[in-house]
Each structure stands twice: as structure tokens, then as C-alpha cells.
Amino acid sequence: MNRSDPRHRLLVVSTTAALVGLTLTGCAAPHSDAAPHPAVTRTASATQTTATRTPSRPPATPSAAPSAAGAPSAPAANAASTPAPGAGAAAGPGTRSGMCTTAQLSARLGEQGGNPPGSGGGMSKEQLAIILTNTSPTTCTLQGWPGVSYVGDGNGTQIGPAATPDRDVQHPTVTLQPGRAAQAYIIIEVAAAFDPATCKPVHIDGIRVYPPGSRTALFIRGGSGAGDGTACSAGELRQTIVEAVIPYP
């Protein structure tokens, strides 16, 4: 075909136009398809970001809860300090500790009813007063019956039974300022008043005295102002009665 022929020219123009149209169509299609993808991608990205950030906030609320839980720790500390009044309550035993201890006292024999030690009561009895003096610089108290017994053998062995408390007498609390004293009367059946075979008299070294409420004893040497210085060693014979402490004199 001759290129100068009008039909040739028309064919070339038509072919060229078709190619241009296809080219434009191919370019436009990708452009229109690409637009939705970025939109979808951004939306998913925003959704993902939102989904990620939204759960991250609720944990902040529990983190505040421990802070609130920590707040009651202050009252807990106050509760721990509350037992302080308990220390004040412990002053009760402290008051009881005001009773005179053996270390605060001295003991001696004295008069009973104005009589010299060991006198009165007849030939078969001795009437004595055990006098307990506060030798400490602190005021203390005595209340009740002292423990009294004879001792011998040179080693503190108890001779016979301990004195029997007379529960029929008053037993007031006696307050002893430093240097002051209390007394407890004792009445002793002398060994000579008993059958020797029953009494089994032995020589005594003195009298052991437990102040009321104490487990430590004082010792009064000699122990008797009259008689022959003996006591019944038979366990079934009770020679001595002791009364509660009262003020002296």
C-alpha cells in the first residue's frame, strides 16, 4: 500500500488513536484502584491504633487502686501505735509490784501488846511479834499473813510444820514509808508443854519468815525469847499460829 494513499493515513491515525486510548485506560484504571487501598489502609491503621490505645487506659485505673489501697496503711500504722494504752494498762501489775520485797525488809522479834518478847500467855505459850521494817528508800506495802517456821541443824532445815494462819483476824494493807514497820503476832505452844515422845523436841537455830507474797525468806536467829530454845520436830504437831500484818507500833 502506498503511504501517500489516504486510506493508509486513515489507518495509521485510527491505530494511533486506539493505542492512545488503551494507554489512557490502562493508566486510569490503576489510579482509580489505588485510591481505595490507601483509604482502607489508613482506616485500619487508625482502628488498630485505637484498638491498641483503648485497652492501655484501663490498666491505669487498677494502678490507681493500689494507691488507694496504700492509703489505709496510715491507719494501720496508727492501729499499731494504739497498743500504747496497753502499756498504761500494764501499770496494774506495776501497782502490785509495789508490795514490799524481801530485799526491802528486815525482820526482828518484838513485843506483843506491850509485853517483852516471849512473855505472857502462861507457862505453855509464848506471845511474840514479828516486826518487818522497810529498810529501802522506796515506799511499799504489805498485806496478808507471813510464812513462819522454825529452822535448825545449822543448814536451814525446817523443824516441824509451818505456822497456821489465823484467818479470823483482819488483814489490812499496810503502807510502809522508808523506815516504817509492820508487825504480825505469833502464838507458840512451847515444846515443854507436849509429851516428849510425841513432840520429839530438837534445838532450833531461829525462825524463818517469808514476807506476805514473797518466796524469799528472812531469818531471825534464836527465834524465841523464852523457853529452852527447842521446838517439836513431829510433823503432826502444830505449835504456832500467825496473824496477819498490821501497822507497828
Same domain? 111 vs 43: no
Mean pLDDT of 204-215: 96
Same domain? 47 vs 139: no
Say if 1 falls within a structural domain.
no
Say if 91 falls within a structural domain.
no
Same domain? 14 vs 70: yes
Mean pLDDT check: name the lowest of 167-171, 191-195, 241-245.
191-195
Say if 164 falls within a structural domain.
yes
pLDDT for the residue 124: 79
Domain edge (last residue) among 45, 79, 113 = 79
* Residues in the chain, total: 249
Say if 93 falls within a structural domain.
no
**Banded pLDDT at 39 (limits 50, 70, 90):** very low
For residue 16, the one-letter residue type is T
Question: What is the pTM assigned to this prediction?
Answer: 0.58
Same domain? 74 vs 149: no
Say if 126 falls within a structural domain.
yes
Say if 215 falls within a structural domain.
yes
Same domain? 120 vs 211: yes
Same domain? 239 vs 146: yes
Say if 44 falls within a structural domain.
yes
pLDDT for the residue 176: 98
Number of domains making up the chain: 2
Q: Whole-angstrom Cα distance, residue 178 to residue 95? A: 17
Provide the domain limits for residue 69: 6-79
pLDDT for the residue 186: 94
Same domain? 59 vs 111: no
Nearest 10 degrees: CA dihedral of 28, 32, 35, 37?
A: -120
For residue 127, the one-letter residue type is Q
pLDDT for the residue 228: 67
Same domain? 118 vs 13: no
Same domain? 27 vs 122: no
Same domain? 55 vs 178: no
Say if 88 falls within a structural domain.
no
Same domain? 10 vs 44: yes
Same domain? 138 vs 199: yes
What digits encode the pLDDT tens for the residues 89-142?
A: 222 333 444 999 999 999 999 877 655 555 455 567 888 999 999 999 999 999
What digits encode the pLDDT tens for the residues 54-73?
A: 444 444 444 444 444 444 44
